[in-house]
Amino acid sequence: MTADSLTPSLRKSWRKGAPFFQLEHTDKSSNARTGILHTDHGDILTPIFMPVGTVGSVKGVHLYELTEDIKAQIILGNTYHLYLRPGLPVLEAAGGIHRFNAFDRPILTDSGGFQVFSLTGIRKITEDGCEFRSHIDGSKHFFSPEKVIDIERSIGADIIMAFDECPPGTASYDYARKSLTLTHNWLRRCIHRFNASEARYGYHQALFPIVQGCVYPELRRESARFMSETDAEGYAIGGLAVGEPAEKMYEMIEVVNEILPTDRPRYLMGVGTPANILEAIERGVDMFDCVMPTRNGRNGQIFTWNGIINCRNAKWANDFSPLDAEGTSRVDNIYSRAYVHHLFKAKELLAMQIASIHNLAFYLELVRTARAHILADDYAHWKKAILPQLMHRL
């Protein structure tokens, strides 16, 4: 199967022919890379972690904290959720997502595919698209590849995802094969709609196809080759961290990255732990997102350079040391572990806010530090030394 019926080139010129992605350096000891993503809302230094702002906001985090404490270069929004609430009329009247949520840096939206397909029992998938019922009020909706592109044009993110099906990590080969065919057919339609439409708000939008294929190497290779032929400005790797073992995920990343163009950014969707991120960086991934820093933070889990803390545990009740003495956000040295433990036990909302800010700042510092070691050509050595420390439970 070729991409001839799709388009000679999906990639559209950004700023009169300037590259959308500039590959800077590849580590001599691994496949880890650094680069710069150029968007009309600013440059993004890779590797990068994107805080998840599902409905246009990162849970429990103010704009100032997001930009000044966490130092987020880009955030992620969710097409499914933004379509349902606040809805396209509101977003269009506001002038797009950037003006609506006041985040003037780059934004990426996923296609909503993962959310739609996770609605087991209240959705129906066909060749035409996916019919589903809203988790909010039960109302019926339909997403086709064309409609998803139209929705993402209306939302107005800098980077938008193609509509795909995300099979579970335990899917059979036959199911994964049929799902992959559907994803490729939908991509054709996404590209036709994307090329037939224009960005609504006067700035460039890049469309990333999503490589699928579950845990089957031959399907992953087929999908990576198919996606590569579209000449897109970047590529996403989907359908991982959805139930398969971590080692199988790493294997699939290696399989895909052997084929995807080296001069385009690679985005691993929905991953993951600090260890997952560092392992994927070593295998040539540039972009990440995950709800783990905020979701786990709201439940008392704190990621630090010396290991993982569960602030709900009684052992921290009299520990007046900083939340993370080596941290970079303001909350790390303002609040003690004992105080944050107290807030969680008292069910104070401030506990969840502090934990979310800290964890996101930690993840951003983690990828900045990884970038520095890639540039120093000692990434593999540094990763091997730091991983046991990061994943140790204190």
Active-site choice (69, 158, 289, 332): 289
Active-site choice (110, 158, 324, 332): 110
Among 272, 242, 240, 270, which residue's Cα sits nearest to residue 256?
240
Calpha distance 373→380 (Å, rounded): 9
Contacts of 332 (CB under 8 A, 6+ apart): 322, 323, 324, 325, 326, 358, 361
Quickly list DSSP for 173-216: HHHHHHHHHHHHHHHHHHHHHHHHS--SSSS--EEEPEE--TT-
Residues paired with 237 in a beta bridge: 211, 268
Calpha distance 256→192 (Å, rounded): 24
* Residue 110: active-site member: yes
Distances (CA, A) of 394 to 104, 278, 303, 304: 38, 20, 10, 10
Among 167, 245, 170, 257, which residue's Cα sits nearest to residue 213?
167
As annotated, the active-site residues are 110, 289
